[in-house]
Amino acid sequence: MDNEIISLLQECDALKARLAAMRPLPAEALEKIENAFDMEYTYESNRIEGNTLTLQETALVVNEGITIAGKSMREHLEAINHAEAIDYIREFAQSNVEISERTIKEIHAIILHGINRENAGRYRSVPVRIVGSAHIPPQPYLIDKQMEDFMIHFQEMENQGIHPVLIAAYLHETLVSIHPFIDGNGRTSRLLMNLYLLRHGYTIVNLKGSNETRREYYDALESSRTNPTSFQKLVIEAEITSLKRYLSVLGAPDFQ
């Protein structure tokens, strides 16, 4: 394993241990923190995909049911659906239900609810291309087998004791590569990654949607087809940033 990745994982786990030592956290404080961070996650994840709602507008749509003038119905639904999907993965992470293809389809069905009823929660039946990528996703008739193999390899990684953050990165990268859905693959992949992180005691990774950070994200995903290192580093560093932010908000020493 890359020495830098080993070092980053050690830092990540040290921060996770510090956060765990502060638990149980006051329920009211934790709820406020998570609500704020989850709203930012919804905003940034949708922003990556081209949604033009601002953070404040996203909060108004989700929390107040307000319609924003000049914004499409789809953009409103993307905000509402993503917020609901976060609630879903938080609840699922606390359960004993095994992560499976059904889990992935349920996340996707929430993401496309009211946007694309025909394809929500269903694998695509047509070929697709990923804009700006040299990678060509598999033909529709190959998706079932590739998704089955994906889940088998995921279980093998767990059995081998691979670090959870590396498995989370694998789940994201591989699902995007297979691109099983006609739309919503990016959001679903990031939610699946975060579901796995939450289940293993980590915090949600919020990959930013600015032009610069989005480019870095896409470049790391593109290079992961041949070498996963860049994308693994991106995910680990994002988890470290998230953990530090939680510790800072909670008033941990050295993070003020």
Per-residue pLDDT tens digits for 22-69 = 888 778 888 889 999 999 999 999 999 999 999 999 999 999 999 999
Measured CA to CA in angstroms, residue 1 lies from 15, 150, 167, 198, 223 at distances of 21, 22, 14, 24, 17
The rounded distance, in Å, linking the Cα atoms of 30 and 34 is 6
Q: What mean pLDDT is predicted for residues 68-72?
A: 98
**pLDDT of amino acid 255:** 67
Q: What mean pLDDT is predicted for residues 229-234?
A: 97
- Does residue 9 form part of some domain? no
**pLDDT of amino acid 132:** 73
In this model, does residue 256 exceed pLDDT 60? no
Q: How far is CA 87 from the centre of its chain?
A: 13
In this model, does residue 102 exceed pLDDT 90? yes
- Does residue 60 form part of some domain? yes
pTM of this structure: 0.96
Per-residue pLDDT tens digits for 167-219 = 999 999 999 999 999 999 999 999 999 999 999 999 999 999 999 999 999 99
Tell me the catalytic residues.
Answer: 179
Domain that holds residue 144: 27-249
Nearest residue to 81 via CA among 175, 184, 204, 171: 184
Per-residue pLDDT tens digits for 84-96 = 999 999 999 999 9
**pLDDT of amino acid 253:** 78
Q: What mean pLDDT is predicted for residues 5-23?
A: 95
- Does residue 6 form part of some domain? no
Number of domains in the chain: 1
**pLDDT of amino acid 167:** 98
Mean pLDDT (the chain) is 95
If one compares 136 and 111, the residue with the highest pLDDT of the two is 111
SS3 state of residue 37: helix
CATH of the domain at 225: 1.10.3290.10
Q: What mean pLDDT is predicted for residues 70-83?
A: 98
Q: Which residues contact 207 (CB under 8 A, 6 or more apart)?
A: 44, 45, 48, 190, 213, 217, 234, 238
Phi, psi at residue 55, to the nearest 5°? Answer: -60, -45
**pLDDT of amino acid 62:** 98
Measured CA to CA in angstroms, residue 114 lies from 80, 97, 118, 120, 141 at distances of 10, 26, 10, 9, 26
If one compares 254 and 185, the residue with the highest pLDDT of the two is 185
- Does residue 47 form part of some domain? yes
Per-residue pLDDT tens digits for 146-168 = 999 999 999 999 999 999 999 99
- Does residue 20 form part of some domain? no
**pLDDT of amino acid 133:** 78
Nearest residue to 170 via CA among 111, 221, 245, 109: 221
Nearest residue to 112 via CA among 87, 147, 141, 77: 77
Burial class (CB in 10 A: 0-12, 13-18, 19+), 108: buried
- Does residue 121 form part of some domain? yes
- Does residue 4 form part of some domain? no
- Does residue 15 form part of some domain? no
In this model, does residue 71 exceed pLDDT 90? yes
